[in-house]
């Protein structure tokens, strides 16, 4: 059964006189598979009608199409065959596919009516009456899928064009939002044959796939569908299906729709921001049905999708190998020209790594935002001075997020800073919060990332904050800030950035250990050096640093300790003065607390353990006894 599905039936279609026979014969010869002439399967009655200039009816074609279908089913060659068949109407094509269980490749040849009529008038060996040409064009329903080849070149050139299209890796995309469209165009740029589908909701989402194909037809050809069953049916087996739909129930809904139409060996690639535990569940459920599933993180936003994102696939190694040429071709390239895409690991590791990427992103965005806020409202720098400061910092940091922040600071609308017209209530899509949940699960301190998430939460309480600011008169600096603090701010920024990354990578390392994912932190750093949102000079340096110390916490890396020590006092000074002045610096403050806790030989946790044992009999370990042994105390002193 699997061998039959692997057979490819190539049907060269189009109106009479367009060059189907010569093209199909040459194609079959190149592919070294049998050739079958569809016209030879017409009945004597049909041939007489066409010779006499009488158009065939659907009833006339019924037995003819059945004979072609029967012949297709009887093809013995393991690699399939090439057929000619005008297949002018969509229902004719559907009939042929209904009657078989093989993989079809439709090759639609087309040319102007005038050019075809000229060919017919000079031809002698075909029974078709040139007077019927108009009826052929009247009947023709060009397919919105398959390979489209204009026959204004020599047969050999047309065959070469077809072979190039046949050899292209093929993929179908479900979901044509901004990211889906960007990835489709990116794939087309990189010689991938893309079929697109988008659902139809009357008055909300109508003709999305068709319009996308039409808007780009000057440079690309996209097969398009608005019927999911047809979309899946016309994708060659084994099918590669990329989902670009909203994470959560929507993904499960699409899977439940496509699953009855899938076959053993088909592959679903979830390129949205799905929760890694959902991905693990889906992988397990689909494995039972012999369907592959890749949970694939994609970072880079709209620009990255179109021009080269960072891609993080996790799941089946076999499945990744099958589509690696597609994913690596569309990914951003690192400084050595290698794709910012790699096989991450088993189960939901790809989406886990993308989740932590977004967590680090949350922390760095908040760090930039609070630094801007401090410079503007507590140090009274102008917008131009802040933009220049960030630009200066970025000469060495080379941070994408800093780069776009400079652009934001320079954007004006009717002479007014656009930033001042944006409500200070930040949204989120869940990945930051998921990182916090994962940190609790794996026992990792996630201070900066969790704090960044909470800062967004409190920003959303605009009305409450407005009332509170009036009640507590928190509108101007309370303490004077020293003159040299601006110079210290850069050092503080650098160290908080390092701590934020160290926290994120620590979570990846701990999850990898617990799940036996064997994640390569150096390789993850490498694919984050371009295409993704958190690309920076720091990320470039981490590639080698993790190679040198792959199993150590980043803050223990010898090459970072000196840099950390240099910036330590700057971070403490900035955090202390900013908060004393009344400026909220949540990520900076959390980085300070994390660093002080992480570097403390003695913490306050012994008091917590004593308290837990006092009220809950939880027991504790002792400093004067071996680790792993637990003790209890009756704490209440008897009078």
Instruction: Write out the DSSP string of 329-395.
Output: HHS-B-TTS-BSB---BSTTHHHHHHHHHHHHHHHHHHHHHHHHHHHHHTS---HHHHHHHHHHHHH
CB atoms within 10 A of CB 85: 26
Residue 295 has phi, psi (to 5 degrees) of -85, 110
- Alpha-carbon 104 to chain mean position: 28
The Cβ-side half-sphere exposure at 204, using a 13 Å CA radius, reads 4
Q: Residue 597: which of 454, 490, 499, 451 has the closest Cα?
A: 499
What does the buried/exposed string (b/e) look like for 57-72 if buried means 16 or more CB atoms within 10 Å of the residue's CB? eeebbeebbeebbeeb
Residue 496 tokens read as 């908080």
413 bridge partner residues: 416
H helices of 460-484, in order, are: 462-472
CA distance 614 to 611: 5
**What whole-number distance in Å separates Cα of residue 316 and Cα of residue 319?**
5
CA distances from 463 to 108, 156, 203, 456, 467 (A): 61, 71, 35, 14, 6
In angstroms and rounded to an integer, the radius of gyration of the C-alpha atoms of the chain is: 32
Catalytic residue, candidates 354, 364, 488, 494: 354
Per the annotation, the verdict on 328 as an active-site residue is no
- Count of H-run helices and E-run strands, the chain: 27, 14
Any idea what the Cα angle at residue 133 is, between residues 130 and 135, rounded to 5°?
135
Joined together, the tokens standing for residue 614 give 């006092």
Question: DSSP letters along 61-106, please?
Answer: HHHHHHHHHHHHHT---TT-EEEE----SHHHHHHHHHT--SEEEE
**What ranges in 124-266 are assigned the alpha helix state H?**
133-139, 155-167, 178-189, 208-215, 228-233, 249-258
Catalytic residue among 361, 364, 370, 488: 361
CA distance 173 to 464: 44
What is the side-by-side order of every strand in the sheet holding 240-243?
223-225, 193-197, 170-174, 240-243, 267-270, 292-299, 310-315
- β-strand 310-315 against 292-299: which pairing, if any? antiparallel
Q: Is 361 designated active site?
A: yes
- Are 460 and 426 within 8 A, CB to CB? yes
Q: Known catalytic residues?
A: 354, 361
């Amino acid at each position: 059964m699997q061998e039959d599905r692997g057979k490819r039936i190539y049907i060269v279609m189009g109106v009479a006189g367009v060059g189907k026979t010569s093209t199909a014969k040459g194609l079959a010869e190149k592919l070294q598979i049998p050739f079958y002439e569809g016209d030879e399967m017409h009945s004597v009655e049909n041939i007489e009608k066409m010779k006499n200039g009488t158009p065939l009816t659907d009833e006339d074609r019924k037995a003819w199409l059945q004979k072609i279908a029967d012949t297709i089913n009887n093809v013995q060659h393991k690699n399939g065959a090439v057929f000619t068949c005008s297949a002018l109407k969509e229902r004719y094509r559907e009939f042929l596919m209904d009657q078989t269980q093989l993989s079809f490749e439709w090759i639609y040849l087309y040319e102007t009516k005038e050019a075809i009529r000229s060919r017919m008038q000079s031809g002698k060996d075909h029974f078709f009456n040139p007077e019927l040409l108009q009826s052929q064009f009247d009947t023709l329903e060009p397919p919105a899928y398959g390979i489209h080849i204009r026959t204004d070149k020599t047969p050999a050139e047309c065959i070469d064009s077809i072979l190039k299209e046949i050899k292209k890796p093929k993929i179908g995309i479900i979901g044509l939002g901004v990211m889906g469209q960007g990835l489709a165009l990116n794939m087309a740029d990189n010689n991938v044959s893309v079929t697109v589908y988008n659902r139809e909701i009357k008055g909300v989402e109508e003709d999305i796939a068709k319009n996308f194909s039409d808007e780009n037809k000057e440079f690309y050809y996209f097969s398009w569908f608005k019927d999911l069953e047809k979309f899946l049916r016309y994708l060659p087996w084994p099918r590669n299906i990329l989902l670009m739909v909203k994470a959560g129930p929507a993904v499960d809904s699409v899977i439940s729709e496509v699953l009855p139409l899938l076959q053993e060996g088909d592959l679903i690639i979830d390129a949205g921001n799905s929760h890694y535990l959902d991905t693990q569940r889906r992988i397990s459920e689909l494995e039972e049905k012999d369907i592959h599933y890749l949970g694939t993180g994609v970072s880079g936003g709209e620009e990255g999708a179109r021009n080269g994102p960072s891609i993080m696939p996790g799941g089946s190694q076999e499945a990744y190998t099958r589509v690696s040429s597609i994913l690596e071709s569309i990914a951003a390239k690192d400084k050595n020209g290698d794709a910012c895409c790699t096989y991450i690991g088993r189960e939901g590791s790809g989406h886990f790594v993308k989740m932590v990427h977004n967590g680090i992103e949350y922390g760095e965005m908040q760090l930039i935002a609070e630094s801007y806020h401090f410079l503007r409202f507590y140090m009274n720098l102008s917008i131009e001075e802040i933009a220049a400061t960030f630009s200066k910092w970025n000469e060495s940091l080379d941070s994408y997020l800093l780069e776009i922040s400079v652009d934001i600071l320079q954007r004006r609308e009717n002479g007014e800073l656009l930033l001042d017209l944006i409500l200070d209530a930040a949204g989120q899509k869940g990945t930051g919060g998921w990182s916090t949940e994962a940190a609790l699960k794996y026992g990792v301190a996630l201070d900066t990332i969790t704090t960044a998430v909470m800062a967004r939460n409190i920003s959303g309480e605009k009305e409450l904050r407005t009332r509170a600011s009036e009640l507590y008169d928190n509108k101007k600096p309370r303490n004077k800030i020293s003159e040299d603090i601006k110079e210290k701010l850069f050092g503080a920024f650098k160290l908080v950035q390092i701590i934020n990354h160290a926290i994120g990578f620590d979570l990846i390392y701990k999850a990898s250990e617990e799940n036996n994912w064997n994640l390569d932190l150096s390789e993850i750093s490498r694919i984050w050096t371009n295409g993704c949102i958190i690309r920076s000079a720091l990320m470039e340096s981490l590639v080698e640093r993790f190679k040198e110390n792959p199993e150590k916490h980043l803050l223990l890396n010898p090459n970072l300790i000196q840099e950390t020590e240099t910036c330590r006092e700057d971070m403490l000074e900035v955090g202390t003065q900013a908060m004393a002045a009344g400026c909220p610096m949540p990520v900076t403050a959390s980085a300070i607390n994390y660093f002080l806790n992480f570097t403390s030989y003695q913490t306050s946790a012994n008091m917590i353990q004593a308290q837990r044992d006092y009220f809950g009999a939880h027991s504790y370990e002792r400093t004067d006894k071996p680790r792993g042994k637990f003790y209890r105390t009756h704490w209440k002193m008897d009078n």
